Structure 1
Protein backbone atom coordinates (compact mmCIF):
# COMPACT_ATOMS: atom_id res chain seq x y z
CA UNK A 1 0.00 0.00 0.00
CA UNK A 2 2.96 2.34 0.36
CA UNK A 3 4.00 1.74 -3.26
CA UNK A 4 0.78 1.23 -5.28
CA UNK A 5 -2.66 2.79 -5.22
CA UNK A 6 -4.91 -0.20 -4.71
CA UNK A 7 -8.07 -0.65 -6.79
CA UNK A 8 -11.40 0.11 -5.10
CA UNK A 9 -12.43 -3.56 -5.31
CA UNK A 10 -9.55 -4.56 -3.04
CA UNK A 11 -10.64 -2.02 -0.42
CA UNK A 12 -14.15 -3.43 -0.54
CA UNK A 13 -12.88 -7.01 -0.22
CA UNK A 14 -10.74 -6.15 2.81
CA UNK A 15 -13.59 -4.27 4.47
CA UNK A 16 -16.02 -7.13 3.72
CA UNK A 17 -13.63 -9.68 5.24
CA UNK A 18 -13.24 -7.62 8.41
CA UNK A 19 -16.98 -7.06 8.59
CA UNK A 20 -17.69 -10.79 8.22
CA UNK A 21 -15.17 -11.59 10.92
CA UNK A 22 -16.90 -9.25 13.35
CA UNK A 23 -20.54 -10.03 12.57
CA UNK A 24 -20.78 -13.72 11.62
CA UNK A 25 -21.48 -15.86 14.67
CA UNK A 26 -20.10 -19.16 13.29
CA UNK A 27 -17.25 -19.82 10.89
CA UNK A 28 -19.48 -21.23 8.12
CA UNK A 29 -22.52 -19.10 8.88
CA UNK A 30 -23.35 -16.47 6.26
CA UNK A 31 -26.35 -15.08 8.15
CA UNK A 32 -24.62 -12.84 10.66
CA UNK A 33 -26.31 -9.62 11.68
CA UNK A 34 -24.45 -6.45 10.79
CA UNK A 35 -25.12 -4.21 13.77
CA UNK A 36 -23.33 -1.19 12.31
CA UNK A 37 -22.52 0.09 8.83
CA UNK A 38 -18.88 0.24 7.76
CA UNK A 39 -19.01 4.03 7.83
CA UNK A 40 -19.98 3.94 11.51
CA UNK A 41 -17.40 1.25 12.30
CA UNK A 42 -14.62 3.36 10.79
CA UNK A 43 -15.48 6.42 12.91
CA UNK A 44 -13.34 7.21 15.92
CA UNK A 45 -14.32 5.57 19.21
CA UNK A 46 -15.05 8.96 20.78
CA UNK A 47 -17.95 9.46 18.33
CA UNK A 48 -19.40 5.96 18.61
CA UNK A 49 -17.34 3.98 16.09
CA UNK A 50 -14.77 1.25 16.50
CA UNK A 51 -11.87 3.10 14.82
CA UNK A 52 -11.48 0.68 11.92
CA UNK A 53 -9.27 2.07 9.20
CA UNK A 54 -10.62 3.55 6.03
CA UNK A 55 -8.26 1.65 3.73
CA UNK A 56 -8.40 4.13 0.86
CA UNK A 57 -7.36 6.96 3.20
CA UNK A 58 -4.67 4.73 4.70
CA UNK A 59 -3.35 3.90 1.22
CA UNK A 60 -3.26 7.61 0.31
CA UNK A 61 -1.47 8.42 3.58
CA UNK A 62 1.25 5.85 2.88
CA UNK A 63 1.69 7.13 -0.68
CA UNK A 64 1.73 10.70 0.64
CA UNK A 65 4.53 9.68 2.98
CA UNK A 66 6.57 8.58 -0.04
CA UNK A 67 5.86 11.91 -1.73
CA UNK A 68 6.87 13.78 1.43
CA UNK A 69 10.15 11.86 1.50
CA UNK A 70 10.85 12.89 -2.10
CA UNK A 71 10.14 16.50 -1.18
CA UNK A 72 11.93 16.69 2.16
CA UNK A 73 15.01 14.57 1.31
CA UNK A 74 16.05 15.80 -2.14
CA UNK A 75 19.60 14.49 -1.76
CA UNK A 76 18.58 10.86 -1.18
CA UNK A 77 19.24 8.38 -3.98
CA UNK A 78 15.53 7.65 -4.54
CA UNK A 79 14.71 11.38 -4.72
CA UNK A 80 17.48 12.04 -7.22
CA UNK A 81 16.45 9.09 -9.42
CA UNK A 82 12.77 10.07 -9.42
CA UNK A 83 13.59 13.72 -10.03
CA UNK A 84 15.86 12.89 -12.97
CA UNK A 85 13.26 10.54 -14.44
CA UNK A 86 9.87 12.14 -13.75
CA UNK A 87 10.23 15.81 -12.83
CA UNK A 88 13.68 17.09 -13.86
CA UNK A 89 12.71 20.75 -14.33
CA UNK A 90 10.09 21.28 -11.59
CA UNK A 91 9.62 20.42 -7.94
CA UNK A 92 7.68 17.39 -6.74
CA UNK A 93 4.70 19.63 -6.01
CA UNK A 94 4.45 20.62 -9.70
CA UNK A 95 5.24 17.19 -11.18
CA UNK A 96 2.99 15.59 -13.80
CA UNK A 97 1.77 12.01 -14.09
CA UNK A 98 3.99 9.66 -16.06
CA UNK A 99 3.58 6.11 -17.37
CA UNK A 100 5.24 4.24 -14.52
CA UNK A 101 2.61 2.70 -12.19
CA UNK A 102 4.66 3.41 -9.06
CA UNK A 103 5.12 7.07 -10.01
CA UNK A 104 1.45 7.31 -10.96
CA UNK A 105 0.53 5.93 -7.53
CA UNK A 106 2.77 8.36 -5.65
CA UNK A 107 1.26 11.27 -7.57
CA UNK A 108 -2.23 10.13 -6.53
CA UNK A 109 -1.29 11.49 -3.10
CA UNK A 110 0.26 14.70 -4.46
CA UNK A 111 -2.86 16.72 -3.63
CA UNK A 112 -2.70 15.45 -0.06
CA UNK A 113 0.95 16.49 0.25
CA UNK A 114 0.30 19.89 -1.37
CA UNK A 115 -2.58 20.58 1.04
CA UNK A 116 -0.35 20.07 4.07
CA UNK A 117 3.07 21.29 3.02
CA UNK A 118 4.40 24.61 4.34
CA UNK A 119 7.71 26.39 4.00
CA UNK A 120 9.72 26.83 7.17
CA UNK A 121 10.40 30.53 6.87
CA UNK A 122 13.83 30.84 8.51
CA UNK A 123 15.47 33.85 6.85
CA UNK A 124 12.75 34.00 4.16
CA UNK A 125 15.26 34.56 1.37
CA UNK A 126 14.08 31.61 -0.76
CA UNK A 127 10.32 32.01 -0.37
CA UNK A 128 8.16 34.14 -2.66
CA UNK A 129 5.58 36.23 -0.81
CA UNK A 130 2.86 35.40 -3.32
CA UNK A 131 2.00 31.89 -4.47
CA UNK A 132 4.06 29.74 -2.09
CA UNK A 133 2.64 28.12 1.07
CA UNK A 134 4.42 29.75 3.99
CA UNK A 135 1.56 30.83 6.27
CA UNK A 136 0.40 28.46 8.98
CA UNK A 137 -3.25 28.99 8.18
CA UNK A 138 -6.22 27.51 6.33
CA UNK A 139 -5.08 29.58 3.34
CA UNK A 140 -1.30 29.08 3.34
CA UNK A 141 -0.62 31.22 0.27
CA UNK A 142 -1.02 34.96 -0.14
CA UNK A 143 -3.13 35.70 -3.16
CA UNK A 144 -3.17 39.30 -4.31
CA UNK A 145 -3.33 41.33 -7.46
CA UNK A 146 -0.84 43.86 -6.12
CA UNK A 147 2.10 43.94 -8.53
CA UNK A 148 4.39 45.32 -5.82
CA UNK A 149 4.54 41.90 -4.12
CA UNK A 150 5.35 39.90 -7.26
CA UNK A 151 8.87 38.45 -7.28
CA UNK A 152 9.52 39.69 -3.72
CA UNK A 153 10.74 37.38 -0.99
CA UNK A 154 9.41 36.93 2.54
CA UNK A 155 12.72 38.32 3.80
CA UNK A 156 11.62 41.76 2.54
CA UNK A 157 8.80 41.67 5.13
CA UNK A 158 11.26 41.13 7.99
CA UNK A 159 13.39 43.61 9.90
CA UNK A 160 17.14 43.60 9.28
CA UNK A 161 17.91 41.38 12.27
CA UNK A 162 15.20 38.84 11.24
CA UNK A 163 13.80 38.81 14.78
CA UNK A 164 10.57 40.60 13.94
CA UNK A 165 8.28 41.60 11.09
CA UNK A 166 8.25 45.05 9.50
CA UNK A 167 4.88 46.17 10.87
CA UNK A 168 4.50 49.11 8.44
CA UNK A 169 5.07 46.99 5.33
CA UNK A 170 2.76 44.22 6.52
CA UNK A 171 -0.03 46.64 7.40
CA UNK A 172 0.13 48.09 3.86
Structure 2
Protein backbone atom coordinates (compact mmCIF):
# COMPACT_ATOMS: atom_id res chain seq x y z
CA UNK A 1 0.00 0.00 0.00
CA UNK A 2 1.36 3.40 -0.98
CA UNK A 3 1.97 6.21 1.44
CA UNK A 4 -1.19 8.15 0.48
CA UNK A 5 -3.53 5.26 -0.21
CA UNK A 6 -4.97 5.29 3.27
CA UNK A 7 -8.52 4.03 3.68
CA UNK A 8 -10.15 4.16 7.08
CA UNK A 9 -13.10 1.77 7.20
CA UNK A 10 -14.84 3.63 9.99
CA UNK A 11 -14.53 7.22 8.78
CA UNK A 12 -14.23 6.66 5.05
CA UNK A 13 -11.11 8.76 4.41
CA UNK A 14 -9.63 7.65 1.12
CA UNK A 15 -6.64 9.91 0.99
CA UNK A 16 -4.96 11.00 4.17
CA UNK A 17 -3.12 13.87 2.49
CA UNK A 18 -6.39 15.37 1.18
CA UNK A 19 -8.00 14.94 4.59
CA UNK A 20 -5.07 16.68 6.26
CA UNK A 21 -5.24 19.50 3.73
CA UNK A 22 -8.97 19.91 4.42
CA UNK A 23 -8.30 20.12 8.17
CA UNK A 24 -5.62 22.77 7.60
CA UNK A 25 -7.98 24.69 5.32
CA UNK A 26 -10.57 24.66 8.10
CA UNK A 27 -7.98 26.15 10.47
CA UNK A 28 -7.15 28.79 7.86
CA UNK A 29 -10.85 29.61 7.56
CA UNK A 30 -11.02 30.09 11.34
CA UNK A 31 -8.05 32.47 11.14
CA UNK A 32 -9.91 34.49 8.51
CA UNK A 33 -13.15 34.53 10.52
CA UNK A 34 -11.51 35.31 13.85
CA UNK A 35 -8.50 37.52 13.10
CA UNK A 36 -8.35 38.72 16.72
CA UNK A 37 -8.20 35.24 18.27
CA UNK A 38 -5.17 34.35 20.34
CA UNK A 39 -3.93 31.91 17.67
CA UNK A 40 -4.30 34.44 14.84
CA UNK A 41 -2.55 37.17 16.80
CA UNK A 42 0.25 34.79 17.81
CA UNK A 43 0.85 33.65 14.23
CA UNK A 44 0.82 37.22 12.94
CA UNK A 45 3.30 38.28 15.61
CA UNK A 46 5.60 35.38 14.83
CA UNK A 47 5.50 35.49 11.02
CA UNK A 48 4.33 38.85 9.68
CA UNK A 49 2.05 41.32 11.47
CA UNK A 50 1.49 43.35 8.29
CA UNK A 51 -0.04 40.63 6.12
CA UNK A 52 -3.37 38.80 6.29
CA UNK A 53 -3.74 35.04 6.03
CA UNK A 54 -4.75 34.86 2.35
CA UNK A 55 -1.71 36.86 1.29
CA UNK A 56 0.72 34.84 3.39
CA UNK A 57 2.70 32.19 1.56
CA UNK A 58 3.35 29.95 4.54
CA UNK A 59 0.25 27.73 4.22
CA UNK A 60 -0.34 25.03 1.61
CA UNK A 61 -4.09 25.35 2.09
CA UNK A 62 -4.33 28.91 0.78
CA UNK A 63 -5.22 27.68 -2.72
CA UNK A 64 -7.95 25.39 -1.42
CA UNK A 65 -9.45 28.22 0.60
CA UNK A 66 -9.32 30.67 -2.29
CA UNK A 67 -11.16 28.17 -4.50
CA UNK A 68 -14.13 28.09 -2.15
CA UNK A 69 -14.21 31.67 -0.89
CA UNK A 70 -17.03 33.91 -2.01
CA UNK A 71 -18.25 37.30 -0.82
CA UNK A 72 -21.67 37.57 0.77
CA UNK A 73 -23.08 40.87 -0.42
CA UNK A 74 -24.16 43.03 2.51
CA UNK A 75 -22.95 46.65 2.35
CA UNK A 76 -22.04 46.28 -1.36
CA UNK A 77 -19.27 48.88 -1.28
CA UNK A 78 -16.38 46.56 -0.48
CA UNK A 79 -16.67 43.93 -3.22
CA UNK A 80 -15.05 44.57 -6.61
CA UNK A 81 -17.25 43.44 -9.52
CA UNK A 82 -14.50 42.22 -11.84
CA UNK A 83 -11.86 40.93 -9.41
CA UNK A 84 -13.73 39.39 -6.46
CA UNK A 85 -15.73 36.17 -6.21
CA UNK A 86 -19.32 37.15 -5.39
CA UNK A 87 -21.80 35.49 -7.78
CA UNK A 88 -23.02 32.08 -6.58
CA UNK A 89 -23.26 29.21 -9.07
CA UNK A 90 -21.00 30.69 -11.76
CA UNK A 91 -17.47 29.46 -12.45
CA UNK A 92 -15.20 30.32 -9.50
CA UNK A 93 -17.95 32.67 -8.26
CA UNK A 94 -16.39 35.33 -10.52
CA UNK A 95 -17.77 37.35 -13.40
CA UNK A 96 -16.23 35.98 -16.59
CA UNK A 97 -17.66 38.57 -18.99
CA UNK A 98 -15.11 41.04 -20.30
CA UNK A 99 -15.50 44.58 -18.99
CA UNK A 100 -18.15 46.26 -21.10
CA UNK A 101 -18.88 49.10 -18.73
CA UNK A 102 -15.83 50.97 -17.43
CA UNK A 103 -17.93 52.93 -14.89
CA UNK A 104 -18.69 49.82 -12.85
CA UNK A 105 -16.12 49.00 -10.21
CA UNK A 106 -17.94 47.96 -7.02
CA UNK A 107 -21.08 45.85 -6.59
CA UNK A 108 -22.70 49.00 -5.18
CA UNK A 109 -22.47 50.46 -8.73
CA UNK A 110 -24.98 47.79 -9.80
CA UNK A 111 -27.56 48.69 -7.15
CA UNK A 112 -30.26 51.34 -7.19
CA UNK A 113 -29.84 52.91 -3.76
CA UNK A 114 -33.36 54.39 -3.70
CA UNK A 115 -35.17 51.06 -4.27
CA UNK A 116 -32.47 48.86 -2.68
CA UNK A 117 -32.64 46.61 -5.72
CA UNK A 118 -30.46 45.61 -8.64
CA UNK A 119 -30.15 47.84 -11.69
CA UNK A 120 -31.50 45.05 -13.87
CA UNK A 121 -30.89 46.83 -17.18
CA UNK A 122 -27.25 47.48 -16.30
CA UNK A 123 -26.75 43.85 -15.23
CA UNK A 124 -28.27 42.50 -18.45
CA UNK A 125 -26.24 44.78 -20.72
CA UNK A 126 -22.98 44.32 -18.81
CA UNK A 127 -22.89 40.58 -18.02
CA UNK A 128 -23.75 37.48 -19.99
CA UNK A 129 -27.23 36.02 -19.47
CA UNK A 130 -26.26 33.45 -16.81
CA UNK A 131 -24.22 35.95 -14.75
CA UNK A 132 -27.02 38.51 -14.88
CA UNK A 133 -29.64 35.94 -13.80
CA UNK A 134 -27.48 34.63 -10.94
CA UNK A 135 -26.75 38.18 -9.76
CA UNK A 136 -30.43 39.10 -9.72
CA UNK A 137 -31.10 36.28 -7.25
CA UNK A 138 -28.65 37.59 -4.65
CA UNK A 139 -30.78 38.97 -1.79
CA UNK A 140 -30.04 42.14 0.14
CA UNK A 141 -30.08 42.37 3.94
CA UNK A 142 -32.59 44.62 5.64
CA UNK A 143 -29.95 46.22 7.85
CA UNK A 144 -26.66 47.47 6.49
CA UNK A 145 -23.76 45.18 7.40
CA UNK A 146 -20.22 44.73 6.16
CA UNK A 147 -19.66 42.45 3.19
CA UNK A 148 -18.13 39.22 4.42
CA UNK A 149 -16.29 36.21 3.09
CA UNK A 150 -18.04 32.83 3.21
CA UNK A 151 -16.57 29.41 2.51
Secondary structure of the equivalent of 1:119? strand
Give, in whole Å, the separation in 2 of the partners of 1:89 and 1:147. Answer: 34
Question: Would the aligned equivalents of 1:129 and 1:149 in 2 still touch at CA under 8 Å?
Answer: no
Question: Would the aligned equivalents of 2:77 and 2:108 in 1 still touch at CA under 8 Å?
Answer: yes
| 2:95 is aligned with 1:133 | no
Question: Would the aligned equivalents of 1:130 and 1:149 in 2 still touch at CA under 8 Å?
Answer: no
Show the 5 A alignment for 1:20-39. Answer: none
- C-alpha RMSD over aligned residues: 2.8
**Correspondence for 1:114:** 66
Question: Would the aligned equivalents of 1:158 and 1:164 in 2 still touch at CA under 8 Å?
Answer: yes
Give, in whole Å, the separation in 2 of the partners of 1:79 and 1:117. Answer: 19
Structure 2: gaps spanning 5 or more residues? 126-151
**Correspondence for 2:13:** 53
The alpha-carbon distance between structure 1 residues 169 and 96, as it changes in their structure 2 partners (threshold 3 A), is same
**Correspondence for 2:140:** none
Structure 1: gaps spanning 5 or more residues? 1-7, 19-40, 42-49, 98-106
Give, in whole Å, the separation in 2 of the partners of 1:161 and 1:79. Answer: 40
The alpha-carbon distance between structure 1 residues 145 and 160, as it changes in their structure 2 partners (threshold 3 A), is closer
Structure with the higher fraction of residues in strand conformation: 2
**Correspondence for 1:148:** 102
TM-score, scaled relative to structure 2: 0.65
Deviation readout 1:85-140 (Å, 9 max, x if unpaired): 4454443222213xxxxxxxxx1111111111111111211111111111112331
| Higher relative contact order (CA closer than 8 Å, sequence separation 6+) | 2
Give, in whole Å, the separation in 1 of the partners of 2:99 and 2:71. Answer: 22
Structure 1 residue 62: Cα displacement: 0.6
Count of aligned positions: 121
**Correspondence for 2:24:** 63
Structure with larger Rg: 1
TM-score, scaled relative to structure 1: 0.58
